[in-house]
Amino acid sequence: MRTKIVAGNWKMNKTLAEAKALTNEVLNLCISEVKSAVKVILCVPYPFLQSTTEQCEGTTIAVGAQNCSEHESGAYTGEVSAAMLKSIPVPYVILGHSERRQYFREDGPMLAKKVDRALAHQLTPIFCCGEPLEIREKGTHEALVRQQIQEGLFHLSAEAIGKLIIAYEPVWAIGTGKTASTQQAQDMHAVIRKELAAKYGDKVAQSIPILYGGSVKPDNAKELFSCPDVDGGLVGGASLKARDFVDIIKGA
Ligand code: PGA
122-143 pLDDT, tens digit per residue, is: 999 999 999 999 999 999 999 9
**Ligand 1 centroid vs 99 CA: distance in angstroms?**
10
Best residue among 174, 239, 240 to mutate for probing ligand 1, ranked by most atoms within 8 Å of CB:
174
CATH code at position 44: 3.20.20.70
For the CA of 128, the nearest atom of ligand 1: 9
Residue type present at position 24? N
| Pair 180, 212: CB distance under 8 Å | yes
**Ligand 1 centroid vs 221 CA: distance in angstroms?**
13
Instruction: Tell me the residue range of the domain where 79 lies.
Output: 5-251
Annotation marks residue 70 as catalytic = no
Whole-prediction pTM: 0.97
Cα 192 to Cα 141: distance, rounded to the nearest angstrom: 11
**Ligand 1 centroid vs 169 CA: distance in angstroms?**
8
For residue 176, what pLDDT is reported? Answer: 86
Annotation marks residue 97 as catalytic = yes
Cα 173 to Cα 176: distance, rounded to the nearest angstrom: 5
pLDDT at 94 over 90: yes
Residue type present at position 146? R
For residue 175, what pLDDT is reported? Answer: 85
Best residue among 43, 100, 212, 215 to mutate for probing ligand 1, ranked by most atoms within 8 Å of CB:
215
Q: Which of 70, 97, 99, 195 is catalytic?
A: 97
**Ligand 1 centroid vs 201 CA: distance in angstroms?**
30
pLDDT at 63 over 90: yes
Structural domains in the chain (count): 1
Task: Report, as an integer, the average pLDDT of 186-213.
Answer: 98
Cβ < 6 A, ligand 1 pocket: 9, 169, 174-175, 213-216, 234-238
For residue 68, what pLDDT is reported? Answer: 98
Band of the pLDDT at 179, cuts 50, 70, 90?
Answer: confident
How distant, in Å, are the alpha carbons of 45, 92, 107 from that of 67? 9, 10, 13
- Encode pLDDT of 6-61 as tens digits: 999 999 999 999 999 999 999 999 999 998 889 999 999 999 999 999 999 999 99
SS3 content of the chain, % helix, strand, coil (to 5): 50, 15, 35
Q: Which of 99, 106, 169, 195 is catalytic?
A: 169
